[in-house]
């Protein structure tokens, strides 16, 4: 985008310092002024319609192609579609091939889409045309931070400090770098100095809490969020992070109080927009009412909290329609049967139905005042079809026991994936070339990453049958024929736990709230063992314990 159209981050004014992530603060603007047109929300269909009209009027209008690309990338958090935005940015670049800002924005698009190789190539190309362009250098910092390339991150930080000594934007990356190399005191001091200079800088407040959390100092992180909320009341980013910290400490009531703010953070979705005319359920009596429940967040979340549907149906004489990921429907239908429960995969069906209320699945937690004392959590509540279990039993007969399913990698689009996933070679040290074990891959990559997985497993002892697993009913039946599952925090962990299989979960220090801050057992899944990092980014002790624990299990 042209620099005159780029909204600059103003840290000192709380009204202008929007609560965005680091990258968004620098690169994704929410409003444009189009000529004499009033400002429009960049996420809105109105803005896209206006830009499409401008392109129709002038097909060579590179700037409108660029704006449209940014609009679709910004909206990708809601729709999951980043490719459309990248295509429009490519179109802009074709019309102005040497524009470094267009090239830079392509790098941002590739980075958001997790295409790291392309992102780095674009940033380097932009720098070759405009060597001291600060936004490109900061884009490289974001890339190297996310991909854990700490040496490159450090050298880029030093370059920025030399070329732009008065630019404080780089300090958040320097703080993250110091945290990654476990220089926590230096990171904390630098973050506090940044906050003294910019007391309304939301990212600095979030970063300070993160520094505490990554040392296992959860209570101090919680206090940091509370102090920040005094500076910036009702901020949804702060409230959401505070809720997760409170829930991590099993402070359910106060945690769920703030948990509803997550909807403002995650933004609108196609589903929420489709049903926004229906009153939101916040815990009202559902007797003789019809409730529409829809998916939210990831596959693991849906597996974890799907028993809440049974809780609602047991409490009220009501009708539930649940819109769910298509890959989960066969398993859920097989496992949770009730005459008043109806599964949906086509959102357009809602147009022909009337509902009294609607809510995303995770809102059932606060709406039901969830705690383990108020709601008895079921054991082994997912039941794959016996036919598929028999199918996989026959196919696996050639592999003698013990059979172990493994998953070292989460969804790369997850914001914490670089901390929760483990490099394959490192993960495999659990087994120490033990030829008596049969190891089966349970990592399901996106189609475009299938070839990379095949290359990774080539020459290893890991057997990959995942191309034959067509949905989660198949995956569940496959897991039922294993003796043990060892996995990082992914949907695999939830699936194995919900099936009642023995499963060892390897957790990063700054783990998801549902695993809480301590303990090697969880009430969600009684057959699960949790092995936790004792120090940030230190997997060695976790893997050593996993080796001992797997021997005990087998």
pLDDT in tens, 434-485: 888 999 999 999 888 899 999 999 999 999 999 999 999 999 999 999 999 9
**3-state SS, residue 529:** strand
Instruction: Using alpha carbons, select from 297, 260, 535 the residue that is nearest to residue 415.
Output: 297
Distance CA 396, CA 402 (A): 11
pLDDT of residue 31 exceeding 50: no
Show the beta-strand stretches assigned E in 309-372. 319-323, 341-344, 357-360
Provide CB contacts within 8 A for 554, sequence distance 6+. 402, 404, 483, 484
Quote the tokens at residue 280.
């939101």
* Residue pair 449/455 in contact by the 8 Å Cβ criterion: no
pLDDT of residue 517 exceeding 50: yes
Distance CA 464, CA 390 (A): 19
pLDDT in tens, 140-157: 999 999 888 999 999 999
Distance CA 110, CA 86 (A): 7
Which class is 1-169 in CATH? mainly alpha
pLDDT of residue 6 exceeding 50: no
- What value does the mean pLDDT of the chain take? 88
pLDDT confidence bin for 77, thresholds 50/70/90: low
Query: What does the pLDDT read at residue 350?
Result: 85
Backbone angles phi, psi at 90, to 5 degrees: -60, -40
Q: What is the DSSP letter of 40?
A: E
pLDDT in tens, 111-135: 888 889 999 999 999 999 999 899 9
One CATH from 3.30.465.10, 3.30.200.20, 3.40.50.800, 3.40.50.2000 for 386-553:
3.40.50.2000
Distance CA 54, CA 34 (A): 10
What mean pLDDT do residues 315-328 have?
A: 97
pLDDT confidence bin for 72, thresholds 50/70/90: confident
Are domains 1-169 and 185-268 of this chain identical in fold? yes
Backbone angles phi, psi at 488, to 5 degrees: -80, 180
* Residue pair 73/82 in contact by the 8 Å Cβ criterion: yes
Quote the tokens at residue 113.
């889409």
pLDDT confidence bin for 538, thresholds 50/70/90: very high
Domain residue ranges in the chain: 1-169, 185-268, 270-367, 386-553
Q: Which residue matches tokens 């069906």? A: 349
**3-state SS, residue 42:** coil
Architecture of domain 185-268: Alpha Horseshoe (1.25)
* Residue pair 122/153 in contact by the 8 Å Cβ criterion: no
**3-state SS, residue 503:** strand
Question: Quick one: what percent of the chain has pLDDT higher than 90?
Answer: 70
Q: What is the DSSP letter of 437?
A: -
Provide CB contacts within 8 A for 529, sequence distance 6+. 502, 503, 504, 505, 520, 521, 549, 553
* Residue scoring higher pLDDT (201 or 3): 201
The predicted model scores a pTM of: 0.82
Instruction: Using alpha carbons, select from 161, 39, 102, 148 the residue that is nearest to residue 174.
Output: 161
What mean pLDDT do residues 190-217 have?
A: 93
**3-state SS, residue 359:** strand
């Amino acid at each position: 985008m042209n620099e005159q159209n780029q909204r600059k981050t103003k840290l000192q004014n709380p009204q202008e310092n929007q609560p965005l992530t680091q990258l968004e603060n620098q690169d994704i603007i929410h409003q444009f002024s189009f000529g004499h047109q009033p400002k429009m929300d960049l996420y809105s269909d109105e803005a896209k319609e206006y830009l499409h009209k401008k392109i129709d009027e002038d097909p060579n209008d590179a700037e409108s192609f660029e704006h449209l690309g940014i609009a679709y990338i910004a909206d990708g958090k809601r729709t999951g579609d980043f490719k459309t935005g990248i295509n429009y940015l490519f179109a802009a670049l074709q019309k102005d091939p040497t524009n470094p800002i267009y090239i830079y924005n392509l790098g941002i698009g590739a980075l958001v889409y997790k295409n790291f190789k392309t992102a780095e190539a674009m940033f380097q190309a932009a720098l070759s045309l405009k060597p001291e362009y600060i936004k490109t250098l900061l884009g490289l910092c974001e890339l190297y931070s996310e991909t854990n390339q700490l040496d490159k991150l450090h050298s880029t930080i030093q370059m920025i400090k030399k070329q732009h000594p008065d630019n404080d934007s780089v300090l958040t990356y320097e703080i993250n770098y110091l945290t990654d190399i476990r220089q926590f005191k230096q990171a904390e001091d630098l973050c506090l100095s940044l906050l003294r200079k910019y007391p309304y800088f939301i990212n600095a407040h979030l970063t300070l809490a993160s520094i505490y959390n990554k040392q296992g100092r959860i209570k101090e992180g919680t206090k940091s969020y509370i102090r920040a909320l005094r500076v910036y009341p009702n901020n949804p980013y702060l409230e959401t992070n505070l809720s997760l910290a409170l829930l991590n400490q099993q402070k359910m009531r106060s945690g769920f109080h703030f948990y509803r703010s997550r909807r403002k953070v995650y933004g609108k979705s196609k589903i929420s927009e489709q049903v926004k005319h229906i009153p939101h359920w916040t815990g009202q009596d559902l007797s003789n009412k019809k409730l529409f429940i829809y998916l939210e967040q990831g596959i693991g979340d849906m597996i974890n909290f799907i028993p809440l549907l049974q809780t609602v149906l047991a409490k009220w004489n009501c009708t539930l329609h649940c819109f769910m990921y298509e890959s989960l429907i066969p398993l859920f239908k097989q496992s949770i049967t009730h005459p008043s429960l109806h599964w949906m995969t086509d959102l357009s069906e809602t147009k022909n139905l009337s509902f009294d209320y609607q809510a995303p699945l995770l809102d059932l937690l606060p709406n039901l005042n969830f705690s383990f004392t108020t709601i008895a959590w079921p054991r082994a509540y997912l039941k794959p079809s016996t036919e598929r279990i028999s199918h996989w039993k026959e196919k696996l007969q050639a592999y003698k026991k013990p059979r172990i399913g493994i998953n070292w990698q989460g969804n790369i689009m997850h914001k914490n994936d670089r901390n929760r996933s483990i490099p394959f070679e490192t993960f495999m040290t659990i087994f120490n070339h033990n030829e008596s074990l049969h190891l089966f891959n349970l990592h399901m990559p996106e189609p475009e990453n299938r070839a990379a997985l095949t290359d990774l497993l080539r020459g290893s002892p890991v057997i990959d049958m995942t191309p034959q697993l067509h949905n989660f009913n198949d995956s569940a039946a496959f897991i039922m024929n294993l003796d043990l599952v060892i996995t990082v925090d992914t949907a695999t962990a939830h699936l194995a736990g919900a099936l009642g299989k023995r499963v060892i979960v390897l957790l990063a220090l700054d783990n998801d709230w549902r695993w809480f801050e301590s303990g090697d057992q969880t009430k969600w899944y009684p057959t699960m063992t949790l092995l936790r990092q004792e120090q940030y980014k230190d997997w060695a002790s976790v893997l050593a314990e996993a080796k001992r624990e797997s021997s005990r299990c087998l």
